[in-house]
Amino acid sequence: MNAVSSLGALMLDIKGKSLTSIEKDLLQRDSTGGLILFSRNYESPSQLRELVASIRDIKRDILIAVDQEGGRVQRFREGFVRLPSLGSIGKLYSDKPQLAESLSKISAWIMASELISYDIDLSFAPVIDIQNMSSEVIGDRSFSSSPEVVVRLAKSYISGLREAGMSACGKHYPGHGTVHADSHFELPVDVRPWEEIRDSDFSIFAQLIEFLDGIMPAHVLYPSVDEFTAGFSEVWIKDKLRGELQFKGVVFSDDLTMAAAKAIPAPVDRAKRALAAGCDMVLVCNDQESAGEIANWLESESIVKNVNMQAVRAKPSRKIHNLFEQELWNSRVQTIRSYFED
């Protein structure tokens, strides 16, 4: 891919398996810097290649992302390697820690190598929340209920991403796993005192900060720290993440159309708040009208090239045109299948 210094601040989505004329127009906008793909955009490997090529034809340097975590959150399935959930890797840690670390690295390498071979830059991974099975949205998407185990397995996972040439984007800062509610459908509130959050969930991000190229804040309210949810909070992003932890990478908002984000009613006001809090790129999904409104506002304010995306752009470490014929690929896929496929 050609290197660019910066991209527009808006990441949007598309409705189907090919681009509509409206979507082509949106992708051409100066304010559009990213595109996230979902299961509805995928039919087959050949269709995905054609779709990504058509996107690149419109805007070569756009950042293309997906949630390809593994387990129940894997957007591309048929024709792709079935990836284990992070929680299933974490279950092996207590008895076989070295095996768990190895499988974490291999799983991440497979995921990243496969996506990069389709010219996709980034998976929003790993999930580094604390695992709490009462959480409706996190659960086995996270490695463990132990911060120490999360850190160890996340380091292995990130090393696998980097070996393939993909950056790591940790989510959901400063920790979504302890609250029961799902921020897609309601506003979760974490009532714990700051000291408790600092010593548990937040400590994971603190220990991994030097290994992360991107971070996605949670749409969770922590009233002991700030009146705004983390993704809208200058305290969480500017003061604690940028200031205290000295994070230099890219901050992506979580989707601004999620129910938890709608505590701020107007879509443009959500984007304003997220960017003012310190987010670099705002995600607007499943709402093309709102994406258009936010694009209009960004361009009216000349906020069209405000973030350097080179830190999270894919940098393939191997020749990938024949990835699926390579011995390393076949060996690692067989390893994952031997442990996690029935």
Which amino acid is located at 40 in the chain? R
| 330 CB-contact burial (10 Å; exposed 0-12 / middle 13-18 / buried 19+) | exposed
What is the phi-psi region of residue 156: left when phi exceeds 0, alpha when psi lies from -120 to 50, beta otherwise? Answer: alpha
Q: Which DSSP helix (H) or strand (E) runs through 217?
A: strand 214-217
Dig out the tokens for 246 from the structure: 């000295």
Question: 187 in helix, strand or coil?
Answer: coil
184, 226, 239, 342: the active-site residue: 184
Nearest in space to 106 (alpha carbons), one of 318, 328, 316: 328
Please confirm, yes or no, whether 121 is among the known catalytic residues.
no
Beta strand pairing status for 250-251 and 214-217? parallel
How far apart (Å, rounded) are the C-alpha atoms in residues 106 and 160?
6
- Phi first, then psi: give them for residue 120, nearest 5 degrees: -105, 130
Give the residue ranges of DSSP H helices in the chain: 21-28, 45-58, 86-90, 97-117, 147-164, 194-199, 201-208, 234, 267-277, 288-300, 327-340
How big is the CA angle at 59 (ends 16 and 171), to the nearest 5 degrees?
Answer: 65
Choice among 13, 254, 255, 280 that is catalytic: 254
3-state DSSP helix/strand/coil % of the chain, to nearest 5: 45, 10, 45
Beta carbons within 8 Å of 210's beta carbon, 6+ residues apart: none
For residue 176, indicate whether it is catalytic.
no
Q: List CB contacts of 281: < 8 A, sequence separation 6 or more.
A: 7, 9, 10, 11, 33, 34, 63, 250, 251, 252, 253, 307, 309
Query: Which are the catalytic amino acids?
Result: 184, 254
